[in-house]
């Protein structure tokens, strides 16, 4: 569906303005699709992001500030997210043995199993099969250039 049809707007100030609006609309759409998919696992996209970050450092624990720095959404309340994940048994929080002010956060075997189940599920919301590998690569380059 074209952007014009999606937001019912025919004209834009410029192609640059249209591109920004297109990125915002597409980002919102992707987030919504991702959230719908993760709901079946009792996860939000932000909680999923924390689990993926912790899996990437596993078995080494991480500090809260390091997790927050790697979050996709920098406005996420990382403390609250970690606590929710701890309550579900997917992460642990422990005082560091060498620094009592530091809290080490780790993914649990239960959290790793959850991510493995999610990884083994075909993600219908991820419409990237509409793009060739070359198109996906080009899209990544353009988006990186935009943020650069």
Q: In the predicted model, what is the mean pLDDT of the chain?
A: 90
Helix axes 45-57, 15-39, angle to 10 degrees: 80
| pLDDT computed for residue 2 by the predictor | 83
Contact 113, 26 (CB under 8 A): no
Contact 106, 58 (CB under 8 A): yes
DSSP notation for 39-76: HTTT--HHHHHHHHHHHHHTTS-B-HHHHHHH-SSTTS
Point out which residues pair with 107 in neighbouring strands: 91
Q: Which range, of 24-28, 39-43, 107-111, 127-131, averages the lowest pLDDT? A: 127-131
The CATH architecture of the domain made up of 42-120 is: Orthogonal Bundle (1.10)
Q: Has residue 34 got a pLDDT over 70?
A: yes
Per domain, the residue ranges of the chain are 1-40, 42-120
């Amino acid at each position: 569906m074209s952007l014009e049809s999606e937001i019912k707007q025919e004209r834009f100030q410029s192609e640059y303005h249209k591109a920004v609006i297109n990125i915002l609309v597409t980002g919102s759409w992707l987030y919504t699709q991702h959230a719908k998919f993760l709901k079946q696992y009792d996860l939000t996209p932000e909680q999923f992001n924390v689990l993926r970050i912790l899996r990437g450092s596993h078995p080494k624990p991480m500090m809260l500030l390091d997790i927050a720095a790697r979050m996709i959404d920098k406005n996420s309340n990382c403390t609250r997210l970690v606590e929710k994940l701890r309550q579900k048994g997917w992460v642990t929080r422990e005082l560091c043995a060498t620094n009592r002010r530091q809290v080490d956060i780790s993914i649990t075997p239960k959290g790793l199993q959850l991510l493995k189940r999610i990884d083994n599920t075909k993600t219908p919301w991820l419409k990237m099969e509409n793009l060739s590998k070359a198109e996906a690569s080009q899209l990544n380059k353009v988006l990186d250039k935009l943020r650069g």
